[in-house]
Structure 1
Amino acid sequence: MIDNFRIRVFRAVAHHLNFSRAAEELLLTQPAVTQQIKALEDEFGVPLFDRGGGRISLTPGGAALLPFADRMKALSEEAVAAVADANGQQAGELTLGASQTIGQYLLPNLVAGFLRANPRVHVTARSGNTDAMLEALVSREIQLALIEGPEHRKDVHIEPFMEDHMVLVVPAGHEWADHAIELAELKEQPLLMREFGSGSRRVVEHALAAAGLKGKDLKISMELDSTEGLLSAVEAGLGITFVSRWAVRNQLSLGTLKLARVRGLKLSRRFSMAYPAGPEPAGNVGSFRGFLLSHSLELAPRTTGKQKDNHRAGS
């Protein structure tokens, strides 16, 4: 292919700046990676990496080669996709990013469904909070970001693909379990929140503010960087929290957590996909976008009857 093996090895080492990690990515031994880099340096007649001081860095020659190596990868992927498309198929690479709720609870089903229809596409995915995934998108580290929460940016196009509802989760023995409460009662309980930069946090803050409850009135007792961390903290009796209905399905089925409803509080939101501003995406990105728009609801995890009755935090 256009993207030859030595260039692939160089690119892996250049991005990791670590021979061991490059070897793991390429499923090679470290001596094999070193041998390929040495052969490429002999071919160019200059060193590509500085290995002094116990650290690896690019030499001027290596820095000059890296943009071309990245372009060769992109061109190779375009060639594979073009040949497959000419035969009515999809192939090549698809690099996704997902906010943590989507990545943990929805993305596996969505990718599995997409791959059943497009088995020759190789999907890689990473997760982080919404802000981190949007930054990865604009820096071209990923091709498509699946995010939560209200976002307004001029450098990306954001398109909803699924509605979500956030729910108030309390310990199984809590006095609010399976009950409706007034908004003002939220001031009385320790509230667990996601970190700043989380789309879930923004949704909760906006909804509470719209209902008339200010941030300074809340007893935010802890901030955690994952939804699983929030749920574990609630199970431990450290407070209450708001999470996506998808995140708490297992705990509700087991009875380790319960839901409470907040009268007058609406916590619906949209899960959205984000891609660079400009033309509508084509190739594998375009195919995955179309797949989400047409099949995301049917591939979402099933919700039990009891959860359906309580899937909103307010009524």
Structure 2
Amino acid sequence: MDVPLTLRRLEVFRLVVDERSVTRAARILRIAQPAVSSQIKALESWLGGAKMFVRTGNRLTLTEAGHRVDVWARQVLAGAAEVRRDVEDLETGVAGSVAIAGSMSVGSYLLPPLLADFVRERPQVDLNLCVLPPDEALQAVESGEVDFAVISWDERDVPEGVSTALLRHEPMSLCVGPSLLPAGASISLDDALDLPFVGVPRAGSPERQLHHQLRQLSDKEPRFVVRFGHAEPMKREASRHGWAILMPHYLVETDIAEGRLHQLRVDGLDLSERIILVWRKAKSFAPTQKAVFDLVRSQLSGPSVHPGP
């Protein structure tokens, strides 16, 4: 008699893949280690006895068969998550449900006005936007937790089951607190990199994009005095202390207009934020989801060019 396949079994398998350890997976699930091993063995039995893992030191590594099953399991679990959300919408009488992920700046500044205008025209739509780090937003798309994502992303590859489209390269502006330099002041690239900067946290996608582009322009490293994880404290403290920031123009446009920040002219400083749209290849968009997807794609696509100071 065949061992039945369950979604729970696939979820346990995926967790072991991510953790590369039965022990860690059991700890996260708060169950005994033999129970996790039993789920993996049952899955292997259902697949005709094919082994999913080999041990490499203290870690488990997927076999060739395991890699194939992992791709399939991701698709099955993502599809199940989508179906569950769709059926819940039918049961609750919601006319349409849309779940979106956005990286910090995109999700806090670019997307909200578009989405707010959409639901004002369609108040029956249940629309949810969550702000996540770019890597977590990708995972949410891959798992089916969200319908699509709009994120700031560097040139790294994305998971196999995910499609992407470049929306635009958003120009970045160099701004300083009013006490440091007058608005429209022109300085050299070397002098600009000597300014005291407020930066973003290390190792994130915005930092990687900025570092990569600056290395193409100069061997000189900018001087960071402090790093914050959100644009608002970055702008506020730069304004208060006469520090400098490099930010996508949409984040500082209002602050420049109202005099809280001064934009500088820097010859040779050509930086941009790469914004992409992400969705699951196997995703089947419901009509409302497709309408929001198309709106975001049309409104955010194309070059975004802003005049200098």
Indicate the TM-score class for this superposition, using the shorter chain for normalisation.
0.5 to 0.7
Alignment check: 8 A CA contact 1:148 1:271 kept: yes
Equivalent-residue separation in structure 2 for 1:162 and 1:121 (angstroms): 27
Displacement of 1:222 in angstroms is: 1.4
Give the structure 1 partner of residue 165 of structure 2: 159
What's the CA shift string for 1:100-151, capped at 9, x where partnerless? Answer: 1112212121102322454332111111332232233233332211111324
Indicate the SS of the match to 1:119: coil
Specify which of 197, 202, 205 is matched with residue 199 of structure 1.
Answer: 205
Task: Name structure 1 gaps, 5 residues minimum.
Answer: 1-56, 61-66, 85-90
Give the structure 1 partner of residue 150 of structure 2: 146
Pair 1:73 & 2:71 matched: no
Q: How many correspondences in the alignment?
A: 234
Q: How does 1:6-17 map to 2 (within 5 A)?
A: none
Give the structure 2 partner of residue 310 of structure 1: 308
Alignment check: 8 A CA contact 1:101 1:247 kept: yes
Specify which of 142, 159, 175 is matched with residue 169 of structure 1.
Answer: 175
What's the CA shift string for 1:163-195, capped at 9, x where partnerless? Answer: 421111101122364122211113422222111
Equivalent-residue separation in structure 2 for 1:129 and 1:165 (angstroms): 21
Specify which of 220, 233, 251 is matched with residue 224 of structure 2.
Answer: 220
Equivalent-residue separation in structure 1 for 2:230 and 2:246 (angstroms): 12
Displacement of 1:261 in angstroms is: 2.2
With over 3 angstroms needed to count, the CA separation of the structure-2 counterparts of 1:188 and 1:235, relative to structure 1, is same
Specify which of 179, 187, 191 is matched with residue 181 of structure 1.
Answer: 187
Give the structure 1 partner of residue 135 of structure 2: 131
Pair 1:292 & 2:307 matched: no
Indicate the SS of the match to 2:241: coil
Equivalent-residue separation in structure 2 for 1:280 and 1:261 (angstroms): 46
Displacement of 1:208 in angstroms is: 0.7
Equivalent-residue separation in structure 2 for 1:308 and 1:185 (angstroms): 23
Equivalent-residue separation in structure 1 for 2:114 and 2:86 (angstroms): 27
Alignment check: 8 A CA contact 1:167 1:259 kept: yes
Equivalent-residue separation in structure 2 for 1:210 and 1:100 (angstroms): 25
With over 3 angstroms needed to count, the CA separation of the structure-2 counterparts of 1:281 and 1:213, relative to structure 1, is farther
With over 3 angstroms needed to count, the CA separation of the structure-2 counterparts of 1:224 and 1:94, relative to structure 1, is same
Displacement of 1:75 in angstroms is: 4.4
Give the structure 2 partner of residue 236 of structure 1: 240
Pair 1:252 & 2:250 matched: no
With over 3 angstroms needed to count, the CA separation of the structure-2 counterparts of 1:71 and 1:154, relative to structure 1, is closer
Equivalent-residue separation in structure 2 for 1:181 and 1:72 (angstroms): 56
TM-score (norm 1): 0.63
Give, as a single letter, the amino acid of the residue that structure 1 aligns with 2:181: E
Percent of aligned pairs with the same residue? 21
Task: Name structure 2 gaps, 5 residues minimum.
Answer: 1-29, 36-76
Equivalent-residue separation in structure 2 for 1:196 and 1:141 (angstroms): 27
Moved over 6 A (4+): none
What's the CA shift string for 1:244-291, capped at 9, x where partnerless? Answer: 111112321221211112211211344221112345745433222211
Alignment check: 8 A CA contact 1:172 1:256 kept: yes
TM-score (norm 2): 0.64
Give, as a single letter, the amino acid of the residue that structure 2 aligns with 1:288: V
Alignment check: 8 A CA contact 2:178 2:242 kept: no
